[in-house]
Structure 1
Amino acid sequence: MNDDSIGKVIPRSNYSILGHKQNIDFLIGSFLNNSMHHAYIFSGNKGIGKATLAYAITRNILSGNNFNDLSIDKNNKVCKLIEANSHPDLLVIEPEDPEKKTFISIDQVRKCSEFFNQTPSISNWRICILDSIDFMDISSTNTILKILEEPPTNCLFLIISHNVEKVIDTIKSRCLELKFQNLKNEIMIKKIKILKPNLLKNEIDRILDISDGSIGKLINLSHSDSLKIQGEIDKIFNERKIDESVYNFSDFILKEDTNINKFEVFIDVVNNKLNSFIKELAINNTNFIQNSIMVFKIRDTILNLISQERIFKLNKKQVIVSIISNLNKITKLQ
């Protein structure tokens, strides 16, 4: 399997559900017993299958299936309409450009109110998938709250959250939260062996460690460009020096790729390397207490750079160079 075939699979066209049996059984049971809540929050880390399950439930409900599982013929009309984002009884609210972390506008959310005030067109339900509430500002959040306070009949709200702790309590109190756990290693190993059957065990172990139970991260990290990023970060730690090649490395990370977001891979690898380094330092460094002050200060600087880039859209090249420069300071403590 070449890297071109390891591209992103968007949830609306993904029919492969991995794990989460307890949540699946609960949702199926609720539907079959006519006890569906009007709004659910699917909470958990990014890339573990929350949106994929939301679309799976949506397909079955809008198809009118009396389903005992989530299997469905993906060639049926409803599935094709959902894949094309053109089913009249499904509204999807998501950032216009999720790669650039744009916020969901209040105008997008207002469409939800109009949508739920209409009767179903070709099914018995109207469903809205919000992916994700983490991309909403206070104005958009307040608009959603008003909709949740007066839910229409035969309408279903499926809300995705990667950071449910930041969702306001008034919204959480009007929804039923289903917690999604990180995927187990056996599921992740099975997936990675399908994607990259020729990887060495140490490469698989490294990808599993960085992925942290997220199938989305695993797919990104299985790409050969991601393996190169991991190698370059290792090189910084092993050689304990950086040179002008750091600028070429930053250009490589920022080069657009339809298959993976290399900048996000870089951030994941850096975070993992920081955590691993701190653990090793605690075990092997006799001056840990003295050095830990500097380590945590540098780590906070790096995490702040990452946060500032996401909020204020800083120059990514400068952010990458600054992160690598700070990583190099840490390596001096080895």
Structure 2
Amino acid sequence: MDERQRVSPPDVSEDYPLVTEHERNTTQTTRLVEEIKETADKFLRDQATRGDLKIVSRALRELRYAFKVFTPYRRIRKVTVFGSARMAPDHPAYQASLEFGRRMAKAGWYVVTGAGGGIMEGAHVGAGRKMSMGLNIMLPFEQDANYVISNDEKLVNLKYFFTRKLMFVKEVHAVALFPGGFGTQDECFETLTLVQTGKRDLMPIVLIDPPGGQYWPDWKQFICRQMEDHGLISPADHSLYKITDSIDEAFDEIMGFYCVYHSMRYVRDKLYLRLHFEPSQELLDQLNTEFADIIETGKIESTTAHEMEKDEEHLVDLPRLAFHFNRRDIGRLRQMVDRINNSFELCNVHKVES
């Protein structure tokens, strides 16, 4: 697509849940652009090689254009779908991805995939062109986007896997993985690593098999025997993902995650959890008791937006919980978010009839 074509923003209504996005600040933006220019000038001083400069130049151009495409959609929920490009349309996993894409699109979520065939195509077929977004990798043997997203303004073509993978995780609010090969496993472990280390905010990660499938249960056996049993991960890290062979269960896992919890933001030395509903004092007391192990100092308190959060005007009125999180036990933090979500009967409102 000619990048001079205008990327039209979607209609944002109350049916689409808003997400965290910092408002533009002209002064700060100008300063950051100047820093990028200064860094570029240093390549000359460092006598960088032509090969290194080509990588930096191409990566910067790819990211700039990808951000341009995704920016108009940032306040609308999106889910990334990973899985094998080799699945034929009659394969149960392809059919499962199609149904998953349909359910998410009907709920107002955009479905982001690698824009290829197999699982990626199935998810886009289910979502439809209007609710599909694509991040296509240009490979010598496989670089054409699937017919659903081909030539769409919401399709980005990328040369580098690392720029593509950044967009897959940075720009979305959930990740769904279906069976796949090395690429799917790479995407699975990178997503888990980013969330586990706090480099990416909490989000639901669902590992989906077709009905009766054993791909992900077998994967978990390896994780338990070779990682957890040897102390390489914590038992609570299993809370960062959910394995299921039910599209209904996968859908409810994602939607339920946001039924009370909205988003999170660190402000100086405190973590602020934005919520859709004000927690009761009883729940607050329970959280302080049950999750005392992840509180560095003080306690979990109910509060309002911090002054430094005022740049997110659409989130200012949301109630908050704030505390000094140890920034280490992310699995336990996920368990706390689940505890908050499960404490509200209003969580049932997230369910959408087929």
Larger Rg, first or second structure (1 or 2) = 1
Name the one with the larger helix percent.
Answer: 1
TM-score for the superposition, normalised by structure 2:
0.23
Name the one with the larger strand percent.
Answer: 2
Using CA pairs below 8 Å that are at least 6 residues apart, which structure has the higher relative contact order? 1
